[in-house]
Amino acid sequence: MKPINVGLLGLGTVGGGTLTVLRRNAEEITRRAGREIRVLRAAVRNLDKAKALAGDLPLTTRPFDVVDDPDIDIVVELIGGLEPARELVMRAIANGKHVVTANKHLVAKHGNEIFAAAQARGVMVAFEAAVAGGIPIIKALREGLTANRIEWLAGIINGTSNFILTEMRDKGAAFADVLKQAQDLGYAEADPTFDIEGIDAAHKLTILSAIAFGIPMQFDRAYTEGISKLTREDVQYAEELGYRIKLLGIARRAENGIELRVHPTLIPERRLIANVDGAMNAVLVLGDAVGPTLYYGAGAGAEPTASAVVADLVDVTRLHTADPHHRVPHLAFQPDQLADTPILPMDEVRTAYYLRLSAFDRPGVLADITRILADSNISIDAMVQKEPAEGEEQVNIILLTHVTVEKNVNAAIAKIEALDTVAGKVMRIRLEELAAK
């Protein structure tokens, strides 16, 4: 049978890993796909740098030469960013070529446009590698859990932030020190904003939520909060209370819409996902029929991500000649069946909270604080008052609340911070039990 011809856009970490895996496992991949998957050419920025890896593979510095090549069946976009990636992908689709991409930013921001174009042209866009590297979470949601109504999902989907939080917990280190370590090790970029402020995780959560709930991509509606304000004290206090802090992406069905949020979260240490450490990723999904399922593995790296890219190539190869109407839809649900369920504003989200505040050690302080919480319909689950340091007048008070509405907590925090007996700002971290209910 005629081979499937592939054009690579990018031969960096993931592109190089993809070429390596395709070459090393060529026989096995052919046996699975039913025909040879052959890389015909690649577009790169630096020819000299790429030649050592490419060998006899034809290279070009003009990516549009690849997407316009009539001999190429599948374009693999691995250059990242929004432009020219979006233009290249749309051109490939217009040319009748299938697309495989690892670009979560592109899919989260322009997925609706890209999938509509692919549907109209009768081609596939596969994006398993865009979320959680080598973990097949997209395939699990699109196919493996298709019998289920997904109730919620929660994911550690940024390895850099998870590495930082693990080091802060294990070594008692400050955020800034561990961030520098992560940069030195290559886990974090020179500008780490996308990782530490939750933007990268929000891109991935946007994709997962669309597939889980059958809604369009809505990245701009995702609430995003990073880990840069976390202190070693909060990590330590959480541990003492039986919790661990993780940067979670959470998507959940609620009564009036869908919660879509990324933020630091306290998780009971007995949960499996709370014990996912270092740069690893994990996604916990609750389906009404299957119950909770956990997907764990490397969320980045050359060959883990290449594993997902090549899996997409095999899928596209198998379905290359299939009737477009009988392929698995891009977002799991038929395109004309996507729901217009609203994304809830953060004020309307219901969860529990960890609150830490610094107060003067005087009579009546706790009474004032508990009265404010009660007036805001916030019930206290646990409270700890730390001993003041020698010579200090202020003490740290840690409160855990029962589930309540975010806007009530916002109002209560404003009133607590206005008390003369409270110094500085209240530290608020959301808390999720992640129970199978």
Strands (E), 320-409: 350-360, 380-385, 394-401, 404-405
d(CA 340, CA 156): 27
d(CA 3, CA 22): 13
Instruction: Give the three-state DSSP class for 43.
Output: strand
Active-site option among 104, 109, 204, 246: 204
d(CA 178, CA 176): 6
Is residue 204 annotated as part of the catalytic site, yes or no? yes
Q: Which residues 6+ apart lie within 8 Å of 22 measured at CB?
A: 6, 29, 37, 39, 310, 313
Instruction: Give the three-state DSSP class for 160.
Output: helix
Chain-centroid distance of CA 236 in Å reads: 25
Phi and psi for 278 in degrees, rounded to 5? 65, -145
d(CA 189, CA 183): 6
Residues in the chain, overall count = 437
d(CA 243, CA 245): 7
CB 410 within 8 A of CB 355: no
Catalytic residues: 204
